[in-house]
């Protein structure tokens, strides 16, 4: 190797100037690093060898001229007035003026040293120094080359397979396709050419680690950009992508030119374009869907080939309820829940699939529950309670705080009835609040918590049941632990749909508090931590007497 040559030349005292420069040029070309770095490594190796020869206590410097190859060696001494404290790095004024006429106190002077001859140990040490410097420079060059290429597709050759991870030779560096970043059931052999996405470049002690992926949705996006000129030119954009690697994928596309069909352009003549991507992804089926700004329309498209009857969107919970005909349920869910799972990823929302019968049953159940609640809380007959529910009222708060005209405008009601209903709703809410207050106190929740912003008595009961009863208990929580929304278990009607445990959520997740409100609650609970301790009268008197 060319890197062995510098040590050999350094070890050989007869090596001439041209040989040193030739070695530096050779190493720089082979390792693709700057020639000055190699020269610097040689100087460092010579300095270390000289310190071993003359004593490590000396401040010895070496300089190799990159043009002529001349090597100079010297030690640096500080000029002091009296007897030096450190004879290796200091010299008195009289001695300094012998070495350098005109030297004055505080100057640093140069004491030239004769060239040294390297012994076996010194040569080995110099060799290691040069190797390390060159290796560090090579790693830095690799990192700088690849750190700005994250998101690109790169082609390499499989170098080896270790514990399921594929190490790929990228020419000037190595990358790794981890097991979880590979397409399932895909086999790689040494020498195979493989295309992959540069997912991440990490700077580590042992050198830059280049992580590659063939399973990431962006890999599919970049493949389409290579096969479809309209995507590369920005005429068509892939707005969303979701993959079940090795099995199925969905992409949402939009065209910024009304004369170009985005789906047709991605499919290509006789499917040539999409088939090129499918082959690279080991036969993964790809659904190309027209993207729409209207969420409901996009959901209907995303669930193709199933037919959708109705879409209900809950923006606060980021959930979408989709109603399908009974005979379309299995198709909408897909094998092992694949179709609805990919559609959920594509829309970034939780999608629940219901049949017409399920949706009707759910609506009827909600209608009955709300009607009974209004009957009991407002002390009205069944007809009036059902009328309120039919008009869209779902809670006592809506009845109590809505504009009275909105209630009076309901057919069969007038201003007097509207006022009475709002009065009864307010009284019912007060009864609830009083009952919750008693329950909260029974749980031992401090009254100090009731003074915090955005919290009502029912929330305090929930906190008490969770063991949060003091300001310190609440102050110890993070905002996510308090208000993070629970992701409910999606409804499934297919026996082979995979089960998924619902996320736990925060203590007050059910109340729909915003992140800003959660932060205000936590900070208000922590406020007493920063209050100054009141000074006792005895301590104050003692301070005054002093």
- pLDDT digits 0-9 by tens, 289-324: 999 998 889 999 999 888 888 888 877 667 888 888
H-helix segments, 329-414? 329-333, 338-347, 356-378, 382-390, 396-401, 404-408
Q: Are residues 22 and 131 in the same domain?
A: yes
The residue from 213, 234, 264 where one domain ends is 213
Q: Are residues 205 and 259 in the same domain?
A: no
**118 domain-assigned:** yes
Pairing of strands 193-202, 174-177: unpaired
Residue 504's CATH number: 1.10.150.20
Cα–Cα distance between 113 and 98 in angstroms, integer?
15
Query: How many alpha carbons lie under 13 Å from residue 471 in its C-beta half-sphere?
Result: 15
Sign of the torsion angle spanned by Cα atoms 357, 362, 363, 368? positive
The residue from 138, 169, 193 where one domain ends is 138
Q: Are residues 66 and 122 in the same domain?
A: yes
Q: Are residues 19 and 130 in the same domain?
A: yes
Q: Are residues 202 and 287 in the same domain?
A: no
What pLDDT is attached to residue 264? 92
Q: How crowded is residue 464: how many other Cβ atoms within 10 Å of its Cβ? A: 20
Q: Are residues 104 and 45 in the same domain?
A: yes
Q: Work out how many domains the chain is built from and give that number.
A: 4
Q: Are residues 66 and 24 in the same domain?
A: yes
What pLDDT is attached to residue 55? 74
**408 domain-assigned:** no
Q: Are residues 167 and 270 in the same domain?
A: no
Q: Are residues 129 and 166 in the same domain?
A: no
What pLDDT is attached to residue 121? 52
The residue from 291, 311, 346 where one domain ends is 291
| Domain span holding position 257 | 226-291
Q: Are residues 246 and 204 in the same domain?
A: no
Q: Are residues 12 and 54 in the same domain?
A: yes
Q: Are residues 102 and 208 in the same domain?
A: no
**323 domain-assigned:** no
What pLDDT is attached to residue 112? 78
**388 domain-assigned:** no
**327 domain-assigned:** no
532 backbone dihedrals φ, ψ, rounded to 5°? -70, 140
**471 domain-assigned:** yes
pTM of the model: 0.61
What pLDDT is attached to residue 3? 36
Residue 207's CATH number: 2.40.50.140
**357 domain-assigned:** no
**546 domain-assigned:** yes
Residues 6+ away with beta carbon under 8 Å from 277: 220, 223, 224, 227, 286
10-residue mean pLDDT profile of the chain (546 residues): values are 36 49 70 71 75 75 74 78 73 73 76 67 61 74 83 91 89 87 89 92 81 92 92 92 91 92 91 91 91 90 88 78 88 89 89 86 87 87 87 84 84 83 87 86 87 87 88 87 63 41 66 84 87 53 51
């Amino acid at each position: 190797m060319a890197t062995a040559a510098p040590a050999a030349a350094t070890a050989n005292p007869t090596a001439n100037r041209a040989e040193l420069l030739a070695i530096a040029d050779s190493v720089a070309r082979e390792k693709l690093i700057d020639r000055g770095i190699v020269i610097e490594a040689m100087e460092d190796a010579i300095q270390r060898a000289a310190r071993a020869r003359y004593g490590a206590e000396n401040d010895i410097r070496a300089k190799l001229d990159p043009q002529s190859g001349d090597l100079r060696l010297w030690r640096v001494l500080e000029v002091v007035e009296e007897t030096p404290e450190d004879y290796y790095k200091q010299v008195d004024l009289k001695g300094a003026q012998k070495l350098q006429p005109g030297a004055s106190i505080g100057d640093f002077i140069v004491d030239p040293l004769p060239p040294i001859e390297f012994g076996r140990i010194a040569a080995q040490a110099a060799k290691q120094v040069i190797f390390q410097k060159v290796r560090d420079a090579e790693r830095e060059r690799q990192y700088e080359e690849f750190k700005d290429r994250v998101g690109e597709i790169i082609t390499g050759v499989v170098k080896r397979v270790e514990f399921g991870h594929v190490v790929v030779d990228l020419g000037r560096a190595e990358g790794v396709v981890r097991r979880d970043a590979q397409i399932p059931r895909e086999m790689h052999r040494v020498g195979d050419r493989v295309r992959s996405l540069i997912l991440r470049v990490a700077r580590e002690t042992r050198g830059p680690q280049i992580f590659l992926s063939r399973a990431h949705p962006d890999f599919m996006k970049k493949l389409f950009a290579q096969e479809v000129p309209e995507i590369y030119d920005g005429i068509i954009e892939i707005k969303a992508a979701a993959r079940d690697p090795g099995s199925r994928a969905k992409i949402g596309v939009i065209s910024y030119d009304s004369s170009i069909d985005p789906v047709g352009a991605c499919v290509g003549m006789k499917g040539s374009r999409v088939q090129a991507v499918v082959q690279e992804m080991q036969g993964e089926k790809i659904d190309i869907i027209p993207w729409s700004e209207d969420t409901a329309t996009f959901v209907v498209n995303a669930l193709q080939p199933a037919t959708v009857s109705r879409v209900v969107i809950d923006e606060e919970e980021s959930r979408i309820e989709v109603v399908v005909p009974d005979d379309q349920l299995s198709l909408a869910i897909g094998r092992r829940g694949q179709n609805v799972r990919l559609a959920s990823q594509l829309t970034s929302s939780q999608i629940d699939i219901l049949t017409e019968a399920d949706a009707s049953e759910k609506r009827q159940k909600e209608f009955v529950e709300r009607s009974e609640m209004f009957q009991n809380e407002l002390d009205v007959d069944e007809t009036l309670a059902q009328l309120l529910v039919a008009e869209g009222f779902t809670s006592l708060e809506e009845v109590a705080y809505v504009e009275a005209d909105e209630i009076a405008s309901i057919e069969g009601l007038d201003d007097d009835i509207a006022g009475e209903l709002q009065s009864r709703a307010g009284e019912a809410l007060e009864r609830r609040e009083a009952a919750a207050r008693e329950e909260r106190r029974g749980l031992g929740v401090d009254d100090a918590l009731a003074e915090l912003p955005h919290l009502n008595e029912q929330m305090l009961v929930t906190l008490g049941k969770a063991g949060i009863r003091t300001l310190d208990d609440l102050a110890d929580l993070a905002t996510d632990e308090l208000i993070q929304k629970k992701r409910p278990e999606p409804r499934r009607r297919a026996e082979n749909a995979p089960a998924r445990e619902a996320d736990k959520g925060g203590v007050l997740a059910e109340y729909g508090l915003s992140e800003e409100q959660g932060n205000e609650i936590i900070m208000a609970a922590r406020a007493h931590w920063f209050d100054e301790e009141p000074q006792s009268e005895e301590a104050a008197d003692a301070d005054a007497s002093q």
